[in-house]
A and B are shown apart, each in its own frame.
Chain A
Amino acid sequence: MASKSHGEVNGQDAGGFNVDPMHQFEVHAIYDLPPVAGIDVSFTNSSLWMMIAVTAASLLFIFSARKPTLVPSRLQSFGELTYEFVANMIRDNAGKEGMKYFPFVFTLFVFVLFCNMLGMIPYSFTVTSHLIVTFALASAVFFLVTGVGFIRHGVGFLKLFVPSGIPVALLPLLVVIELISYLTRPVSLSVRLFANMMAGHTMLKVFGGFAVAFLSAGGVMSAGAIAPVAMMVAFTGLEFLIAFLQAYVFTILTCIYLNDAIHLDH
């Protein structure tokens, strides 16, 4: 609903119905900071929402464990459920050894989840709708997994690319395929999250634009706005689901990649 009014504002600003659905993804500097070592470090709306996500998540989880009781309170229950959720994900997918990387995986899950969820607030900015951000996160996972693999198994980690029980003649082909699939992991991981977040938000804005167009037409046509608004309500629910689901998928794939690096089995 609020997105609709957002669209209205945009529409009026533009003096017509041409609501730009990509406008919500624009990054703009809030504070222009001087470059550090030649790198632009301006505090942007993206930075702001990252900070909000970090602050909200930290406060929530720190407060959830502030006065622990045997029978958890609601907030404590939230903290413990999330903790157990991620811990079980690691244990089920990467085994007990994977628990070594629990803080990283937990942070990853919470960061992606909070950025996705905060993006659902009207007028907010969805940090994870930017490919550069999701690609950086996926690369971090990629380098962590590769590092873990080489540290645990040394050169033996390369066996990951050599499937067992395959005719020797097929090996060169399969090794290349395995290698490509391994190297494209950060791409698929980041594009999945980025595309999901961007597509959902764009769609909401497009429907919002339809609603504005109907309303601006006035008269009987205004009633037609009900249809896109109803669609938006439904899609908003779906978007919440996707916001959680994509955080879950991102994390569980991280666990599966970790399992590969820890156990080296195919």
Chain B
Amino acid sequence: MPQLDPAFFAPQLVWLFISFIALYFLLGSFALPKIGGVIKARQDRLDDDLSQAETFRQEAEQAMADYETALAEARSKAAEIIQEVRDATAAELAKKEAELEEKLSAQAAEAEGRIQASRVAALTGIQETAEAVVAEIVQITIGQEVKEDAVKKAVSEEMNNRR
């Protein structure tokens, strides 16, 4: 087995030492820091992007919450305005109704008064006519003038009895 020939142990060890140290130096000072740097830079970039995405997501959520609050506010405000308008309309309606009623009742009262007056006037006219008629009839019947007071009294008594 050539592996067991001690004549070539020394040169192999010497060159192994030289080449291993050389590789260690070349990789350790040129290749590895750079490769490591690139990997780290990529990781940083990824972390950055992820955290930025997280920020954006939170912002979007905040905007959504704001929008919902605004919407709820607007809704309650609208309901308030509707209630106000409704109340105002109802109040005005009630006022107008009252006014109309007052006017109508005033007119009714006036009409009643007029009716009452015409009625009184009519009754008075009937009584006077009746008195004149009675006085005339009595005069014709008994040929004697009757006292006006007596006729008046009799007619009003009779009218009151008939009424």
A contact residues vs B (CB 8 Å cutoff) = 22, 25-27, 29, 36, 39-44, 46-47, 50-51, 53-54, 57-58, 61-62, 64-66, 68, 70, 72, 76, 79-80, 83-84, 102-104, 106-107, 110-111, 127, 129-133, 136-137, 140, 194, 198
Contact = CB atoms under 8 A, between A and B. Distances in A.
B39 A80 contact: yes
A132 B13 contact: yes
B3 A129 contact: yes
Interface string B20-47: 1011101110111011111101100100
Contacts of B19: 47, 50-51, 53-54, 111
A201 to B, nearest CB: 12
A76 B35 CA distance: 8
Nearest to A65: B34
A42 B11 contact: yes
B3 A132 contact: yes
A58 B23 contact: yes
Contacts of B30: 58, 61-62
Contacts of A40: 7, 10-11, 14
B143 interface: no
A76 B34 CA distance: 11
Interface in B27-79: 27-28, 30-32, 34-39, 41-42, 45
Chain A to chain B: the 7 pairs with minimum beta-carbon distance, closest first: A61-B31, A65-B34, A47-B15, A50-B19, A103-B28, A68-B38, A58-B26
A22 B2 contact: yes
A131 B13 CA distance: 11
Given A107-B27, A111-B23, A76 B11 contact: no
A65 to B, nearest CB: 4
Contacts of B7: 40
Given A25-B3, A54-B19, A62 B31 contact: yes
Contact of A80 (B12, B14, B35): B35
B100 interface: no
Given A68-B34, A111-B20, A131 B12 contact: no
A39 B17 CA distance: 13
Nearest to A194: B3
Contacts of A131: 3-4
Nearest to A39: B10
Contacts of B32: 61, 83, 102-103, 106
A109 to B, nearest CB: 10
A137 B14 CA distance: 12
Contacts of B39: 80, 83-84
Nearest to B22: A54
Residue in A44, A46, A50 whose Cβ sees the most chain B Cβ within 10 Å: A50
Contacts of A54: 19, 22-23, 26
B16 interface: yes
B20 to A, nearest CB: 6
B27 A44 contact: no
Contacts of A36: 14
A208 to B, nearest CB: 18
Contact of A41 (B3, B14, B35, B45): B14
Contacts of B34: 62, 65-66, 68
A40 B12 CA distance: 9
Nearest to B7: A40
B52 to A, nearest CB: 16
Given A47-B12, A50-B19, A70-B45, A130 B3 contact: yes
Contact of B11 (A41, A65, A106, A140): A41
A114 B50 CA distance: 38
Given A25-B1, A111-B20, A132 B35 contact: no
Contacts of A25: 1-3
Contact of B35 (A26, A79, A107): A79
Contact of A64 (B15, B31, B41): B31
